[in-house]
Structure 1
């Protein structure tokens, strides 16, 4: 199964991901593929459900620079707590290419998660890294950045978002896009494999 970035309003983007209980060779291969896709699409983070996988996992590199591999992080089963302050910042999404808007997020957060080797990650993050983690964790809960916009802010990008809806409906009509039922079936199979 080769991965690709899925676009809104693909049903998988609204599914709540299930915690991962084990890491195997296949998952590690998918993680490598996720990093490749993230850089190819000039992103700084990519959640598993953005590539149609049901796992509570995302990859990130706040620099967005594939040469800075030391900045890469694989984040499994993230739990965010101790949110402090607020900051507004411009966000985009690889599942909504070309759509950007200012989103209010917590300025600082506490993150607990696991890496690909099963080591516990405990970090206090602020600024941009905090924003990336919040954005990607939202994905794992089936939340998109457009859900966090005010009515006025959403109205500003609504025409762009609507184009994705029209395109998806067209592909659904021709059988090129999956139905909710097909997505549920795929997720069920994938969940049994690793949860």
Structure 2
């Protein structure tokens, strides 16, 4: 019987935006060791505890290029895995404005433009090359998590009235603390 991802991990608090770690590009992983394996386990445990479909390392305060996912596509096919040092190499197809949220921005949702297909290249826990392709909702997840590792959140993709409304909702959120206010 295979082990369930995250079953031996520890749940960490999710870092809330605008913490600096969420606005900074993450560092490349160079050590493929037990510490990395523990990070991936902790990411899975935290993602499941928070009912997420993806979680980037900087969302638990670790500035490394790693994310995990357990996300369906539009045909309800489950995609489960992790990526180390991921790079979004293709995002194409139809641009879709779909409902998007983020564990680092709890309760905030907005119709966010993303491409309907994404191809991400990275590595697994051993450093072996991995390529993951997604469509529909899974493509949205891959783009969202890669954005996190590049130092941005879905708010950065909003413009005009959508951005204004999202920022207004953010200011009303009971968890929100503007940068510099502690």
| Residues 2, 44 of structure 1: alpha-carbon distance in 2 compared, 3 angstrom cutoff | closer
5 Å matches for 1:41-52?
41-52=50-61
Q: d(CA) in 1 for partners of 2:65 and 2:53?
A: 17
Aligned pairs, how many?
169
Deviation at 1:15, TM superposition (A): 0.9
Residue segments in structure 1 that go unaligned for 5+ positions in a row: 178-195
Partner of 1:82 in structure 2? Answer: 90
Contact persistence 1:15–1:141 (CA under 8 A): yes
Partner of 1:104 in structure 2? Answer: 113
5 Å matches for 1:33-182?
33-63=42-72, 71-85=79-93, 86-163=95-172, 167-169=176-178, 177=182
Q: d(CA) in 2 for partners of 1:165 and 1:144?
A: 19
Q: d(CA) in 2 for partners of 1:136 and 1:4?
A: 17
| Residues 164, 49 of structure 1: alpha-carbon distance in 2 compared, 3 angstrom cutoff | farther
| Residues 158, 38 of structure 1: alpha-carbon distance in 2 compared, 3 angstrom cutoff | same
Determine helix, strand or coil for the equivalent of 2:67.
strand
Residue segments in structure 2 that go unaligned for 5+ positions in a row: 1-9
Higher percent of residues as helix: 1
| Residues 98, 165 of structure 1: alpha-carbon distance in 2 compared, 3 angstrom cutoff | closer
Deviation at 1:104, TM superposition (A): 0.8
Higher percent of residues as strand: 2
Q: Which deviates the most, 161-170 or 13-22?
A: 161-170
TM-score, normalised by the number of residues in structure 1? 0.78
TM-score, normalised by the number of residues in structure 2? 0.83
